[in-house]
Amino acid sequence: MAEEQKPAAPKAPPTMATTPWEDELTEQLKRQFGDRISEFTIGLGQKFLVPSPEAVIPILEYLKLEADFDYLVDVTAVDYPKRAERFDLVYILYSFAGNERIRIKTRIAEGYKPATAVGVHLTANWLEREVFDMFGIEFAGHPDMRRILLPEDWEGYPLRKDRGILQMDDRWVKEHLGIESGQ
Amino acid sequence: MPDSTFLDASELVLNMGPQHPSTHGVLRVILKLDGEKVIGTECVIGYLHRGVEKIAENRTYVQFAPYVDRMDYVAAVSNGLGYCLAVEKLLGVEAPPRAQVVRVILTELNRVASHLIWLGTHALDIGAITPLFYTMREREETLNIFEKYCGARLTNHAFRIGGLQYETYDGFEREVRACCDLLLPRIDEYEELLTGNRIWIGRLKNVGILNAEDCKAYGVTGPMLRAAGVKWDIRKAQPYSGYERYEFEIPTGVNGDTYDRYMVRMLEMRQSVRIIRQAVDGMPAGPIMGKVPKVIRPPVGEVYVSIEAPKGELGYYVVSDNSTQPYRVRVRPPSFVNLQSLDKMARGSLVADVVAIIGTIDIVLGEVDR
């Protein structure tokens, strides 16, 4: 493993170049949602917008009905434990008609329960269950909010950054497999 | 009407898998039955969960590359291509032309190999044992090429971030051409066995219908979406690795039933062969690695790159914090998302059809569970 060398004077790390995203769609969205969307950006040629968490579902609905973004590609999360709003919740959308892919990125605090997208896109069902399974983000109004990949009585959310890679649910492993946890 | 006689045994819950040959690995499906009719299903998955996304956060970019091969292990090359493209996009490098052509050849060969496995096992599930032996025989030819190229048959790790690790071996072009020449008549042979076969048609036609609307709602992609009549293939819609230079068609179906999905995949194999032939004919000379730093530390940022894997849209969402390890790698697995539509397709069908429907989704549990 390469040791990371800390430079004496910490300078800002190189960041991907971004440009503001402005076209018809952003105009429409601005008119419709106003300051509930704080950012329209293009990074590495990919468009994304940053709304407030409670605006996500109305935006998904609006994009589906008015702008043909009828395919929810993915729902996922990124954990930033040091930040006040701990998680980035990311929705990736695609429009078959416009051959365009955009991302919706919202920031939520730990314990916040974002509304489910199942009412808009059925595919969100399993995707949100996986986010719950791995990050412990509960989706309000989800029809079946259970773990999907890990056993139902497993404790802990593995993809959170404060969870070590070797850390297991010792109780579960002992109870079900009859062995001491650890590798 | 008598309310509860013993004949009124209306609901039966039947457990299928995880140790069941027709669930293609360790899929467990709980079926709710009314007589022989399915009135509901529930998938229990995760038996093969290895925490690939967590591993990614604890390895360097280069170290993680071999792990992606273990997701969809019958199409390992596609997984590797998607990951390499994502990291390359973050770094702002591009594989040189020769590397791109070799990538296309190997990826398409792998698509054929993946579809052959699907065909053999799908036919086996339906009760046709013979095709499995034939498809395994032809798959062997493609695996031999992989083995000669990079030393591995299944989890190849054929590509590197920025290009290729190895130059092609002597006689690579000749063997790839020979493999193509061999494949086309063999695909005809499978079709002779199956396409017009009365049992095959009886078991597949109008079974597990998933129309275009449902496909989009469930996020279903790949051959399943195309069988429902949607002409959408990422290789055409948002070309990568120089796919825009090749002539090929996107086969589509009409009804979105199991038979159409079968036909679409059969036609896709022919198109793959067509692409491989063009690629071999136009193989440029030149370097095989782009300018990639020795230590990969992409700038802070994020990227979502997806490719058309044999199963559908395979996406990588990579977040970098400018360290040597990815901050987050999210894999958007086609098998996982497509499997969700099983319930929709199986409702109202017979138990025996469930086997056909699971086969037609073409899942690999290594990718569903990751």
Q: Which residues of chain A does B300 touch, with a Cβ-Cβ cutoff of 8 Å?
A: 13-16
Mean pLDDT of A107-135: 91
User: Cis peptide leading into B298, omega within 30 of 0?
Assistant: no
- Is the separation of the CB atoms in B29 and B342 below 8 Å? yes
pLDDT reported for residue B8? 54
The answer on pLDDT for B9 being more than 70 is no
Q: Once rounded to an integer, what is the mean pLDDT over residues A68-79?
A: 91
- pLDDT for res B327: 92
| Out of A76, A79, A96, closest to residue B317 by CB | A76
What CA–CA distance (Å, rounded) separates B354 from A100? 35
Cβ within 8 Å of residue B246, ≥6 positions away:
B104, B274, B275, B278, B279
Indicate whether B159 pLDDT > 80: yes
Residues A159-168, mean pLDDT to the nearest whole number:
85
Contact flag B45-A149 (C-beta cutoff 8 Å): yes
Among A153-162, B1-10, B104-113, B224-233, which is the least confidently predicted range?
Answer: B1-10
Nearest one of B341, B342, B336, B337 to B355, comparing CA atoms: B342
pLDDT of residue A19: 84
Could you tell me the pTM of the whole model?
A: 0.88
Residue B222 has pLDDT above 80, yes or no: yes
The percent of residues above 70 in pLDDT, for chain A, comes to 93
> Which pair of structure tokens corresponds to residue A89?
């919740």
Q: Which position has the higher pLDDT, B271 or A13?
A: B271
List, as ranges, residues 143-172 from A with C-beta within 8 Å of B: 147-151, 158-159, 161, 163, 165
Assign B1 a pLDDT band (cuts: 50, 70, 90).
Answer: very low
**Partner-chain contact B330 A72, CB within 8 Å:** no
ipTM of the complex: 0.86
Instruction: Please provide the average confidence, as pLDDT, over all residues in chain B.
Output: 88
pLDDT at residue number A4: 54
Q: Which of A3-12, A128-137, B50-59 has the lowest mean pLDDT?
A: A3-12
* Mean pLDDT value across residues B10-28: 80
Q: Which among A163, A143, A166, A53 has a CA at the least distance from the CA of A104? A: A53
Query: For residue A177, what pLDDT is reported?
Result: 84
Cβ B250 vs Cβ B90: under 8 Å: no
Residue A51's closest CA among A88, A23, A19, A81?
A88
**Cα separation, B302 vs A43, whole angstroms:** 8
In chain B, what residues touch A101 (CB-CB under 8 Å)? 238, 304
**Confidence at A57, pLDDT banded by 50, 70, 90:** very high
Asked whether residue B115 carries a pLDDT value surpassing 90, the answer given is yes
Q: What pLDDT is attached to residue B265? A: 92
Q: What is the residue type of A135?
A: F
